[in-house]
Structure 1
Amino acid sequence: MNRNNRTPDQLATDIIAGDRIRRSDDLSLFLTAPLEELQEGAGRLQRHFCGKHIDFCTIINGRSGRCGENCKYCAQAACHHTGIDEYGFLPKEEIIRNARANQEAGANRFAIVTSGRALTGRDFDKAIETYKEMKRTLTIDLCASHGLLTREQLHRLHEAGVTSYHHNIETSRRFFPQICTSHTYDDRIRTIKMAQEEGFCVCSGGIIGMGETWEDRLDMALSLQELGIESIPINALMPIPGTGMEGRPQLPAEDILRTIAFFRYINPTANIRLAAGRKLLPQNGATAFETGASASITGNMLTTSGTTIKEDMQMLKDLGLTNKDEDCTAATGTCGAH
């Protein structure tokens, strides 16, 4: 069969058999196929490569505001006036208390996220001390999101017990200069590759709804595939007053669901992770968990608009899914690898 003349079901079958989407393929199917057909194929791929497992991560905003970068979507950029709380690196005890509560609630991993181009100096030392203490006293997997770090800093994080590093590419290479000019797309790629070389599972995705085209979204999915990214958060822009994205219309649920579906086709073994904008989806993302999304940020935070871990655990139970490795039938892919 012509590679460029397949139905969503045929394409899913070929991917399960070992085929992979390439840039040279005709990708128009992802934009023209009926959404239900595309979702059915994405669901088959998810069940094959990820089983019934859904990975839940939680985050804490470890340092807020005063960022010197000019990312148009970000409430924490100093060039924007959003009225957010501004504070330095949180006390170790407060972070560990949050991590322990998330662990006890059943989350799979916990991340400290900090504002700024990169976490440096005494704040970075505080983060290392905090990660070491969490590694010593907790069992939850640890993730970090601290910007454009050096190779030495990434090594220190890894030694401290961090297993995953989060660093979004945000969008396509073509569109990136439209949302940020204080650093480059290549700066982000360089950090991702260094994190991978250090041995981290890298979590990297982006934001849709910033004015990019469908082709930009497809390009982002392919770039993440080419980088070998294992965890891909998909954020739907929630336009924040005071940012450069203020007033942009929110994406319809159908656009978000289509994006999730074709990200699954292009990155079949990765965790496709629901992030910001999840409340825009039917049943708070329940349908997405059966049609491509195998992970989510959870907890009472901005990106999930107040979805509690308890509510998400009940949702999984209702859907016949699990976030516990011991309860999950073996999957054949690498979803959830860390």
Structure 2
Amino acid sequence: MPNELKSDWTLDEIAEIYDQPLLELVFRAQVVHRENHDPLRVQKCTLLSIKTGGCPEDCSYCPQAARYQTSVESEKLLPMPTVMAKAREAKANGSTRFCMGAAWRNVKDGPQFDQVIEMVKGVNELGMEVCCTLGMLKPEQAERLKEAGLYAYNHNIDTSEDYYGEIIGTRTFGDRIDTLKNVRKAGITMCTGGIIGMGETREDHLSFLQRLSSFNPHPESVPINALVPVEGTPLENQEMIDPLLLVRVIATARILMPKSVVRLSAGRLQMSREAQMLCFLAGANSIFAGDKLLTTANPGESSDDTMFRLLGIQAMENRAGAPAEEDAISVNV
């Protein structure tokens, strides 16, 4: 099974990997994983909503969209002391990456963005990888974030380009790619993945994985989420996916993108400890810690600590490290 860094995977090649018997697929993914990562080290990350609710977008999965009647209330941007206290708490609990999310369609220059810049500087000074997810981003805004010390920018492609319009109508798949280009051009590492279980097909999974692996270099961070249906959203009645399907997607992602950090993200609270273990075997080497992911419930620190202890996994202690300079400036996306 090829495991070289490759950005021109064909759909047929990806299908050949994806459609293997699951035990064989997981074994092959674990071999690739061990060749590129320590299989007993998992990065703990913390994700904080610094500006919750009131988003004008219509993402069908998101309880923060203003147009949906959910339990999420719109809140103002958190003050700097609150954010820094959360970041210090996250670091004390073993997280080496701190991500701040704002429910914005796009970044707007002004006082609020200025405040985010100061937050980035503050978290960076703690020695953590600092990540933001703020919506669409212009080149000059990406440059400001880079100068402030931003390590990574999250902007998920969510699903395949063909299925994207079924999930989001207020911006295009191309808009997502444009923001990712701006991130790469600024020399910020790219964090982009998607959500499994929104009614998409096998073919959508193949296309989604092909687009992610076509970035050159590959995304440094690939979060794979399982949809958590939320009452009040268009996907509220969607059934939770079979965790083994999530394992299949993660294993394929690991083989296609050997050096990327694959993040087991939303949906863990609904998964058994054994299902999560299979995801680690399949190549996932990061989780989001804490009892909440933005607005979605997540296993708490004590639950994860127990799981790590039982599996013999240790949390990564240091920053993962920036990509090589030539990779950071490559913009073939």
Task: Give the CA deviation at 1:310.
Answer: 4.2
Quickly say closer, same or farther: Cα 1:177–1:62, change in 2 above 3 A: same
Match of 1:65 in 2: 53
* Partner of residue 38, structure 2: 51
CA contact (8 A) 2:8 2:214 kept: no
Match for residue 331 of structure 2? none
* Residue 107 (1) aligns with residue 95 (2): yes
Measured in 2, the distance between the counterparts of 1:185 and 1:59 equals: 24
Aligned to 1:164: 152
Answer whether contact 2:11 2:210 (CA < 8 A) is retained: no
**Cα deviations across residues 162-221 of structure 1 (Å, max 9, x unaligned)?**
111110000111111111111110011010011011111110000111111111111111
Quote the offset at 1:299 in angstroms. 1.2
Matched, 1:22 2:12: no
The answer as to whether partners of 1:298 and 1:312 remain within 8 angstroms in 2 is yes
1:221–1:267 Cα contact (<8 Å) kept: no
2:224 matched residue in structure 1:
234
* Alpha-carbon offset, residue 112 of structure 1: 0.7
Alpha-carbon distance change, 35 to 146 in structure 1, aligned in 2, over 3 angstroms = same
Aligned counterpart, 1:175: 163
Identity over aligned pairs, percent: 32
Tell me the amino acid that sits aligned with residue 254 of structure 1: L
Tell me which of 299, 312, 315 is aligned to 1:320: 312
Structure 1 residue 118 corresponds to structure 2 residue 118 = no
Q: Deviations over 1:111-162 (max 9, x none)?
A: 11000202322211111122222333x1221111111011111111111111
* Secondary structure in structure 2 of the residue aligned to 1:73: coil
Per-residue deviation, residues 215-269 of structure 1 (Å, max 9, x unmatched): 1111111111111211110111111111111101110111111111111122121
**Residues 1:293 and 2:284 aligned together:** yes
**Structure 2 unpaired stretches of 5+:** 329-333
2:74 is aligned to: 86
| Structure 1 residue 26, shift from structure 2 partner | 3.9
1:126-165 map, 5 Å: 126-136=115-125, 138-165=126-153
2-structure distance, mates of 1:21, 1:287: 28
Give the TM-score normalised by the residue count of structure 2: 0.89
Report the Cα distance in structure 2 between the residues aligned to 1:66 and 1:32, rounded to whole angstroms: 41
| Partners of 2:147 and 2:7 in 1: CA distance | 35
Contact 1:103-1:139 within 8 A present in 2 as well: no
Could you tell me which residue of structure 1 aligns to residue 298 of structure 2? 306
Q: Which runs of 5+ in 1 are unaligned?
A: 1-10
SS of the aligned residue for 1:15 comes to coil
Q: Contact 2:14–2:210 (CA<8 Å) still a contact in 1?
A: no
Aligned residue in 2 for 1:217? 205
Q: How many residues align structurally?
A: 319
- The normalised TM-score by structure 1 is 0.87
Q: Match of 2:214, SS?
A: helix
User: Would the alpha carbon gap of residues 226 and 31 (structure 1) be closer, same or farther in structure 2, given more than 3 Å must change?
Assistant: closer
Task: Judge which range, 26-35 or 177-186, deviates more.
Answer: 26-35
The 1:100/1:150 distance shift into structure 2, 3 A limit, reads same
Structure 2 counterpart of 1:88, one-letter code: K
Q: How does 1:181-220 map onto structure 2 within 5 Å?
A: 181-220=169-208
